[in-house]
Amino acid sequence: MGSGTKTMRADARRNREKLLSSALDLFTEQGADVSLDAVAKHAGVGVGTLYRHFPTREALVEAAYLTELDRLHDGAAELLAEHPADEALARWMDLFVEYAMTKRGLAGALQGVIASGGDPYRQSRTKILEAVTSLFEAGQAQGALRDDVDAEDVWRGMAGIFAMPDGPDWPQRSRTQLRLLMDGLRHRG
């Protein structure tokens, strides 16, 4: 990830982030063919800056997606630091719904990334599984969650929300779905 994100000049990093978040907004709510000029303007930045950070449209979309993926991944550790593991997992599932929503929104644009030879989903599985594992196993260690299933089972259960037909209440239904799963994961009694 962020090759030199660490040694970047402060303003450079700021702009990079503004661009990513604008791209996320516009792409998810307006589709794959937003103009890059529009993204730059929305970020309050010149087009030159955009092109310096992301030489191609695909680079921008891919980076936006990977950022979102990282947010999801890193969220696990943060939640785990502040809550009992089972509650952390429950909250993390809400994060997961948000991730799923943006992924849906970006789908069209990501399609284009793949068409130009990219592979944006390469680390998705790994990262997500890593997060689930850390949360779930912590829950087991704390005696709050069942021992007869493993993290992959949990992940498969969560992935079910991708199969649901979308509609205006998709997020709500997904959350319900995941809450059900969560209840199933706790110890009886």
How many C-beta atoms surround the C-beta of residue 172 within 10 A?
A: 11
Binding letters toward DNA, positions 16-35, x by CB under 7 A: x------------------x
- Nearest CB to DNA, comparing residues 37 and 152: 37
Q: Provide, rounded to whole angstroms, the least separation between the CB of residue 19 and DNA.
A: 9
* Region binding DNA by CB under 7 A among candidate stretches 5-13, 63-71, 73-81, 106-114: 5-13
Q: Provide, rounded to whole angstroms, the least separation between the CB of residue 23 and DNA.
A: 12
* Identified binder of DNA from the candidate list 9, 165, 167, 189, rule CB under 7 A: 9
Residue 175 · residue 152 · CB < 8 Å: no
Is residue 186 classed as helix, strand or coil in its secondary structure?
strand
User: Which contacts of 91-95 are long-range, i.e. CB under 8 A and separated by 24 or more positions?
Assistant: 92/131, 92/135, 93/158, 93/175, 93/178, 93/179, 93/181, 93/182, 94/175, 94/178, 95/71
121/126 Cα distance (integer angstroms): 10
Q: Provide, rounded to whole angstroms, the least separation between the CB of residue 21 and DNA.
A: 14
- Helices marked H in the chain: 10-30, 36-43, 47-53, 57-82, 85-115, 124-141, 151-159, 170-185
* Identified binder of DNA from the candidate list 42, 51, 87, 98, rule CB under 7 A: 51
* Region binding DNA by CB under 7 A among candidate stretches 38-46, 64-72, 90-98, 139-147: 38-46
* Identified binder of DNA from the candidate list 24, 45, 72, 128, rule CB under 7 A: 45
Give the binding site for DNA (CB under 7 A): 8-12, 14-16, 35-38, 44-49, 51-53, 55-57
